[in-house]
Homo-oligomer: A and B are copies of this chain.
Amino acid sequence: MSVLLEMSMFPTDHGESKSEYVAQVIKVIRDSGYPYQLTPMATIIETDKMSEAMAVAQKCYEVLEDLECNRVYATLKFDIRKGKKNRLKGKVASVEKHIGEVAK
């Protein structure tokens, strides 16, 4: 099974720039050891089980809570598919099979 989780999480009570907080969230994800990719709008991680992906999201929130964030907003998208692996690379590749090279 392949669980892809695309997540963005940030405080909404701390002014216009969020990169300081977002960076701490990304650090949690990087330290989790799961394959991941940072994009300009979210971080995508791939796990074998939904519970593993959720545990990472939970830890990300706890970091923001510790940083005195009073209000946190998060959007998570899951694409869960049985009998598949390595979709962090594979999904983009299968689009390229249809239409050739894309920016990635």
A98, B30: Cα distance in complex, Å: 13
CB-CB under 8 A from A37, the residues of chain B are 39-40, 103-104
How many Å from the CB of A49 to the closest CB on chain B?
Answer: 10
CB-CB under 8 A from A70, the residues of chain B are 16, 81-83
Q: Assembly of this chain: how many copies?
A: 4
* B91 close to A40 (CB less than 8 A): yes
Contact with B along A62-91 (1 / 0, CB 8 A): 000000001111111111111100011111
* B72 close to A78 (CB less than 8 A): yes
A4, B36: Cα distance in complex, Å: 21
Of B22, B40, B58, the contact of A51 (CB 8 Å cutoff): B58
Of B6, B36, B80, B103, the contact of A103 (CB 8 Å cutoff): B36
Q: Which A residues fall within an 8 A CB radius of B?
A: 4, 6, 8-10, 12-13, 15-16, 18-20, 22-24, 26-27, 30, 35-42, 44, 50-51, 54, 57-58, 61, 70-83, 87-92, 94-95, 97-99, 102-104
